[in-house]
Amino acid sequence: MKRNSFILTSAIAVICSCNDAASDKAPTADSSTVKISTENNKYLSQPLVTHIYTADPSAHVFNGRIYIYPSHDTATGTPENDNGDHFNMMDYHILSMDSVGGKVTDHGVALHIKDIPWAGRQLWAPDAAFANNTYYLYFPVKNKQDVFQIGVATSKTPEGPFTAEKEPIKGSYSIDPCVFQDDNGSYYMYFGGIWGGQLQRWNNNKYDSAGKLRQPDQLAILPRLAKLSADMKSFAEPVKEIKILDSAGNLYKEKNNDQRFFEASWMHKYHGKYYFSYSTGDTHNIVYAIGDSPYGPFTYKGILLAPVKGWTNHHSIIEKDGKWYLFYHDIQLSGKTHLRNVKVTQLFYNPDGTIQTIHSQR
C-alpha cells in the first residue's frame, strides 16, 4: 500500500531527535548560544547535532555503521553574495551512528584547510569511499588562484584524521564530488555546480575565467562524470558530460530551472536502475532522474525533496538494515542560509520504482 511522507511524522520525530545530549563531544563555540526553535513540531525531522553547524551530508555505511561526511559551517563574517563567499568553511567534522535514531558521535576535526598544501579557501561539500583497505575523502576547495578543484585525502579509519594529497586530482574542477561504487567494483565521480561552483567556466574541460551562465533559451549546463582509476586518486578517463532528459527525450534549457541541474550530485542504485539526484539550486528542489548506465542518459522523474527552510539543499541516500534514508540539511537552528544543520528521514519507493516526494515541513 502506498505511504505518503506525512505518515512518517511520529516515527521520524523519534528517530531524528539526536542533539547535544546524544553527541559524544562537548559543544564547541560554533552554536553554543543557539536555542532550538520552539516551533520544532513544524519539521519532519530534527537536527542530528546542534553543537556545531553542519551541511551537505554525504552518508555511507562502513563496517555496519553510518558515517556522515558533512560540510562544517561557521560564522566567519564574510559578506553574502551570489558566488557563495559567505560559505567560507575551514575544516571537516565526521559524524557517525550505529543506526538512524542512535547516539551521534562527532569525531572532531578530520581535515583542516591548513593541512591541504594546494588549498586557498572555501572547503565545500565532501564525499567519501572505501577501497584498497583505505578510506578516501574527496573535497572541493579553491586553489591559490581561486579556482575550485577536487582533492583527495586518505585514512585507515572512516572517521579520519585524513592526510591530503599534495596536488588536486588532475583534470578535476568545480564542486560537489559524489563517488559511487557500481556492482562490478568500478568507482565513478559525479561533480559540478553552477554559479559559485564555477561550472559555467568550463567547456570541453577547458577553463575560461570569463565563462558565463547560460541564458534562459540556451541549453542548461550539464553535470560531469569520470571513472576513477584503481588508485582512487586519479581519473581513468577524460571528464564527460551527463545528459539529463525530459520525458520526451529532450535536454533541458536554462529556463527549466525547476528541473535542470544546478549542483549537489548523488548517485545510488535501486533494482538495477541508476538514480541520479541533484539540486535545482535557485528553485530549491532536490530532484531525481533514472537511467540504465552510470553514464546516463538519465530521464527526469520528479521531486525527491520539496524546498526546505533556507536557500540551499544538498543530500545523500543510503540503505541500512533494509530501509532507505535521505540525509539533507536546512536552517532550523540558525535561520541563516550559511549556518545549516543536517537531518535524516526515511525514503519510500513506489511499486514502479519512482520515489515518494518528501516534505520536510508539515
Paired residues of 115 in beta bridges:
none
Spell out a b/e string for 170-187, using b for 16 or more CB atoms within 10 Å of the CB, else e: eebbbbbbbbbbeeeeeb
CATH number for position 255: 2.115.10.20
Q: Which helix (H) or strand (E) holds 13?
A: helix 9-15
Q: Rounded distance, CA 117 to CA 165, Å?
A: 8
- When mean pLDDT is compared across 75-84, 245-254, 309-318, the lowest value belongs to 75-84
The two most distant CA atoms of the chain are separated, in Å, by 55
Tell me: pLDDT of 25 over 50: no
Residue 34 has pLDDT above 70, yes or no: no
Q: Which residue has the cell 559524489?
A: 178
Instruction: List, in sequence order, every residue forming a beta bridge with 279; answer none if it has no partner.
Output: 263, 286
Rounded to the nearest 5 percent, the helix, strand and coil shares of the chain are 10, 40, 55
211: cell is 565563462
Structural domain harbouring 15: 5-347
Rounded Cα distance, 53 and 30, in Å: 7
Q: At residue 229, does pLDDT exceed 50?
A: yes
**354 belongs to a structural domain:** no
- Range 170-178 average pLDDT: 98
Kindly list the catalytic residues: 56, 263
Give the distance from CA 174 to its chain's centroid.
14
Domain assignment of residue 314, yes or no: yes
Does 102 fall in a domain? Answer: yes
Q: Is residue 197 predicted with pLDDT exceeding 50?
A: yes
pTM: 0.91
User: Is residue 239 situated within a structural domain?
Assistant: yes
The CA angle 142-279-247, to the nearest 5 degrees, is: 135
Would 357 be classed as within a structural domain? no
The cell for 9 is: 511524522
- The DSSP letter of residue 1 is -
For residue 221, tell me if it sits in a domain: yes
- pLDDT of 13 > 80? The answer is no
Which segment of 22-31, 35-44, 164-173, 245-254 scores lowest on mean pLDDT?
A: 22-31
Query: Alpha carbon 216 to chain centroid distance?
Result: 26
Q: Give the total number of structural domains in the chain.
A: 1
40-75 pLDDT, tens per residue? 789 999 999 999 999 999 999 999 999 999 999 997
Structural domain includes residue 111: yes
The pLDDT value given to residue 36: 52
- CB-side neighbour CA atoms (13 Å) of 297: 14
Contact 302, 246 (CB under 8 A): no
What is the C-alpha to C-alpha distance for residues 276 and 260, in angstroms, rounded to an integer? 12
- pLDDT surpasses 90 at 38: no
The answer to whether position 70 is within a domain reads yes
Closest to 119 measured CA to CA, from 136, 139, 94: 139
Which contiguous run of DSSP H or E holds residue 30? none
Please provide residue 201's backbone torsions phi and psi, each rounded to the nearest 5 degrees.
-90, 0
The residue that leads in pLDDT, 27 or 354, is 354
| Cis omega (within 30 of 0) for bond into 27 | no
Rounded Cα–Cα distance for residues 133 and 136 (Å): 10
